[in-house]
Amino acid sequence: MAQTVPEMLAEIHAASFETPRPWSATEFAGLLSMKGVFLVTGDGPSFALGRYIPHEAELLTLAVAPEARGQGLGRKILKAYEKEADRLIALKSFLEVAADNEAAISLYLSEGYSESGRRKNYYTAPDKSKIDALVMEKRIKHT
């Protein structure tokens, strides 16, 4: 039996994250059923899930399966998310990222995001330690 879209997303997410905790297929199904939520998928096992409200987009999560990393898929899927946010006429994009996720932070900074806030002790790591969330934003340039 073929996997559903939420099951495929949950599988990639579980392989990609410990902190924040991976989301379940049920959580993905719920998010995908919400108004304003959009999914973009990449060439390989990668995806970005976003949410749009008038003039703002939020990157809910971006994941690239571990075996596909180092090929530029994260950058490609981030650009695809931003293209969809632009199509929806978002003026800004927001995201949260664990303060210890150096690879993701480096990607977001290199693509023009900047830190606009910090949520202290926002995430709980598997060892129960607390990790801050960086809130980042970027102005969407319409063409």
Q: Which residue has the tokens 């993701």?
A: 104
Which positions ≥6 away from 111 have C-beta within 8 Å?
A: 75, 78, 79, 82, 138
> Which of the residues 108, 113, 123, 137 is marked catalytic?
108
The CA distances from residue 71 to 53, 75, 83, 87, 123, in Å, are 31, 9, 20, 26, 28
Q: Is 122 among the residues known to form the active site? A: no
Q: Is 111 among the residues known to form the active site? A: no
Partners of 94 in beta bridges: 58, 137
> Which of the residues 58, 82, 96, 137 is marked catalytic?
96
Q: φ, ψ for residue 87 (rounded to 5)?
A: -60, -35
The neighbour count for residue 48, using CB atoms within 10 Å, is 26
The CA distances from residue 19 to 68, 72, 100, in Å, are 19, 22, 9
The set of catalytic residues is: 96, 108
